[in-house]
Chain A
Amino acid sequence: MSRTKITWRRQAMGLTAGMAVAALALTACSGGGSGDKATGPAAAISQADIDKAMTTPTKLTFWTWVPDIENEVKLFEAAYPAITVDVVNVGQGADHYKKMRSALQAGKGAPDVAQIEFQHVQSFALGDNLLDLTPYIPASTSADYVPWVWKQVLSTDGSKIWSIPQDSGPMGGLYRDDILKAHNIAVPTTWDEFATAAKTLHAADPNVYLTNMPGNDMGQFTAMLWQAGARPFGWDGDKQVTINVTSPEATKVAQYWQDLIQAGDVSVDPDFTDTWYQGLANGKYAGWAPTAAWAPVFLQGTAANTSGLWRAANIPQWDASGSPVSANWGGSSDAVMKSTQNPIAAAQLALWINHDPASTLMLANTQFLFPTTNATLTSKEFSDLAPEFYGGQKVNQVFADISKTVPEDFSWLPFMDYAYSAGQESVGKAIADKGDIVGALKAWQDALTTYAKQQGFTVK
């Protein structure tokens, strides 16, 4: 599948138009290896240039694993008939990144636009693989997104825009109303209450757990660190990384779950496996907490038989007196690869899909990606939904409110794929083995430090 080459006609048009387009067309044709498009604050692309690019027949390749995203792409193609988009699902999560890295490393076969989860944005920025979108999108764009989400797609110094947010996962909790009521347990609002509830419930019915804590989901674990105030990761955008997974806040989280797990009050099945799906469907788990904003709908698909029994709630708090704090688990953005031959069209695709009101609402209400634009979050069509499954509760509203309580200042390492993998081998294994989770934090810290040094970073 060779990418569409820029035609001579298009080059000629570019040369007769403004200088910027001429430069772009030429760098695109020369392969643009020097990356001069992204050095310094590039001049914004004018609307005329955008209009021209969007009316030139172009083929874009878009790698994403969002199911049925073809529908939003069709809307985009209807708005810009000259552009055809080839949507390819090369795999999910890790597989997708493997393929992206291989293609980028080979210098051939990379897509124009690709889905990248928030935690991996910096690692692709490190490889100098991403196009800075600043010149390609209106300056006002940032104001249209939830502030903490927008921060996730910026370069570490905030000067560049690496991708456009698509969906997010503010953390809350989902509980089986019927089971809690049967045991006279109130929905826990603090972690202390949560622990008590977990004990009470499991003592009352040994086959039921208030929640399951998987050992294979470092995304969830990291989000809990985020909520507890730990800031384990950092990167200065160059050679220095911060690694601190053994902070008092992180230790507090590890100790908390270690106590619950070792007491047997919480199950430790790996999540997203068939066993776990069954646990949700057959009432083994009376709750899924902490979980993320994309979970309510996910549950409707996998535990249809429990319809009407679930309720959403805020995430339990460490500090009952302060204002509520949440965190984010999951969520993606769409980035443009620097290697693209059609930066303008690619940037417009990434933006349009995740910014156009019709497209974002469709993503939210048919594919159930939790929105990141203020407009969609507050739109009646989204927040007024009261699904039967949740007994008529307006779950979207619950999570939209939670989204306002996610702290902004959370950053990542430029190698989160390794960080999660090493975390699963240490912390995750300790969870699964009901072992020393606090001690495992140290092992995780050591593994990360060793790796960072091996890769040439200095560790703070």
Chain B
Amino acid sequence: MTAADVRLPQGPPTTPTEPVRRRGPSPMRRRENAAAYILITPFVVVFALFIVVPLVYSGYLSLFRDQLVGGTTFVALDNYTRALTDSSFLTGVGRMAIFLLIQVPIMLGLALVFALLLDSGVLYLQRFVRLGIFIPYAVPSVIAALMWGYLYGPDFGPAAQIAKNLHISAPPFLSQNWMLGSIMNIVSWEFIGYNMIILYAALRSIPSELFDAAAVDGAGRVRTAWSIKIPAIRPAIILTAIFSVIGSFQLFNEPNLLRTIAPNVIGIDYTPNMYAYNLAFINRDSNYAAAIAFILGVVIMVVSYSVQLSTQRKERAAR
């Protein structure tokens, strides 16, 4: 069963993809509802057990304080007010905001350029290039961080070795000022290919009618890309942008592993997610960690929504 073999019957195009509906709960309707419930139940059960229940429990925990001496007390929203004045948390969120504003546009920009190049068929070795850029996605972030950690090495990393032979000094990748950029690089290396594939797939599915006008106009490739292709795959771009926002606010693995080689550059509160983790396991303050994680969730939602809304506004303005 391969994708390419799937043939859709050439029926008349139905406009909205909604089943024909009847008024009132007919037996038919009831049967359909029952079927729908049966189909979603397995997922909903798993979802409820492993996402909703822990989430509710976490929310419950965040309303308490459990001290090492003195036990557990109900403190209502104390943990939340504490978080909003906690410089460790706020700095972490700020750092992630910087990360997001720099890394996400670069990553998505490159992914888009590569996808457009592949789509326009101007390259030799198409498949090889596509696969090569995509391969890093197969490398677990744990291993990616470990690898780049070696490559960044100040004494015996390849960059340092090359620089030594040229009698210049390599940039101190793992120093205070360079670290965030170094992490951005690792994350980009891992995910450019992944985003490229999504955008490339979207480009491949642009209906050919859209190009007819361009062909008549005799528009060049670049102009076609700019004025037809990119608008056509806007939803896919938004999708990748939102994934990236969520991903970068939840950054954990890469800094946590780099911490072993740069323990004083990456503190326990380097990213909000690391901070929550360390609060829970080192400070033994799971309640506060739960509150931090909740606020972080809200921040992610707000940012994701604003990404969506801003693009929608642009779209409306464009019309």
Contacts and interface: CB of A to CB of B under 8 A. Distances in A.
A273 interface: yes
Interface string B264-305: 110110000000001001111100000000000000000000
A339 B282 CA distance: 22
B281 A432 contact: no
B74 interface: no
Given A238-B69, A415-B68, A418-B283, A433 B156 contact: no
B69 A278 contact: no
A414 interface: yes
B176 interface: yes
Contacts of B264: 215-216, 270, 424, 428-429, 431-433
B105 interface: no
Interface in A191-224: 215-216
A129 B264 CA distance: 32
B155 A429 contact: no
Interface residues of A, number: 33
A86 to B, nearest CB: 24
B218 to A, nearest CB: 59
A275 B68 contact: no
B171 interface: no
Most chain A CB within 10 A, of B67, B68, B176, B268, is at: B68
Interface in A241-298: 270, 273-275, 278-279
Contact of A429 (B154, B267, B281, B284): B267
Interface stretch (B47-55, B196-204, B244-252, B255-263): B255-263
Given A94-B282, A415-B284, A451-B283, A273 B261 contact: yes
Interface string A70-84: 000000000000000
A425 B278 CA distance: 13
B153 interface: yes
A270 B278 contact: no
Nearest to B259: A216
B264 to A, nearest CB: 3
- Interface of A (DSSP majority class): helix
Nearest to A457: B69
A369 B267 CA distance: 31
B176 A101 contact: no
Interface string B50-75: 00000000000000000111100000
Nearest to A271: B263
Contacts of A102: 281
Given A429-B264, A433-B176, A455 B281 contact: no
Contact of A455 (B68, B154, B260): B68
A431 B263 CA distance: 12
B263 A428 contact: yes
A425 B267 contact: yes
Nearest to B65: A454
A421 B278 contact: yes
A183 interface: no
A141 to B, nearest CB: 30
A446 interface: no
Interface in B68-106: 68-70
A274 B153 contact: yes
A273 B257 CA distance: 12
A239 B67 CA distance: 11
A106 to B, nearest CB: 12
Interface in A425-451: 425, 428-429, 431-433, 451
A274 B267 CA distance: 19
Nearest to A94: B282
Contact of B262 (A239, A270, A418): A270
Contacts of B278: 421
A27 B262 CA distance: 48
Contacts of B284: 101, 415, 417-418
Contacts of B281: 94, 98, 101-102
Given A429-B267, A433-B176, A278 B155 contact: yes
Interface in B193-246: none
Interface in B1-39: none
Nearest to B150: A274
Contact of B67 (A274, A278, A454): A454
Nearest to A432: B264
Contacts of B156: 274-275, 278
A270 B68 contact: no
Given A278-B155, A421-B268, A429-B267, A273 B260 contact: yes
A414 B68 CA distance: 9
Contacts of A279: 155
A432 B265 contact: yes
Contacts of B260: 273
A158 interface: no
A456 interface: yes
Nearest to B286: A105
A139 B274 CA distance: 46
A87 interface: no
A432 B259 CA distance: 13
Nearest to A217: B263
Contact of A270 (B70, B155, B261, B268): B261
Interface string B163-193: 0000000000000100000000000000000
A94 B268 CA distance: 13
A432 B265 CA distance: 8
A421 B69 contact: no
Contacts of A239: 69-70
A126 interface: yes
Given A101-B284, A414-B68, A425 B268 contact: yes
A126 B67 CA distance: 11
A432 B69 CA distance: 34
In the A-B complex, the 4 residue pairs with the smallest Cβ-Cβ separation, listed nearest first, are A432-B264, A456-B70, A216-B263, A456-B67
29 contacts: A98-B281, A101-B281, A101-B284, A127-B68, A215-B263, A215-B264, A216-B264, A239-B69, A270-B262, A274-B153, A274-B156, A274-B261, A275-B153, A278-B156, A279-B155, A417-B284, A418-B282, A421-B283, A424-B263, A424-B264, A425-B268, A428-B264, A433-B264, A454-B67, A454-B285, A455-B69, A455-B70, A456-B67, A457-B68
Given A127-B68, A270-B263, 16 more contacts: A94-B281, A94-B282, A126-B69, A215-B263, A274-B150, A274-B153, A278-B156, A414-B68, A417-B282, A425-B267, A429-B264, A454-B67, A455-B68, A456-B69, A456-B70, A457-B69
Interface of B: 67-70, 150, 153-156, 176, 260-265, 267-268, 278, 281-285
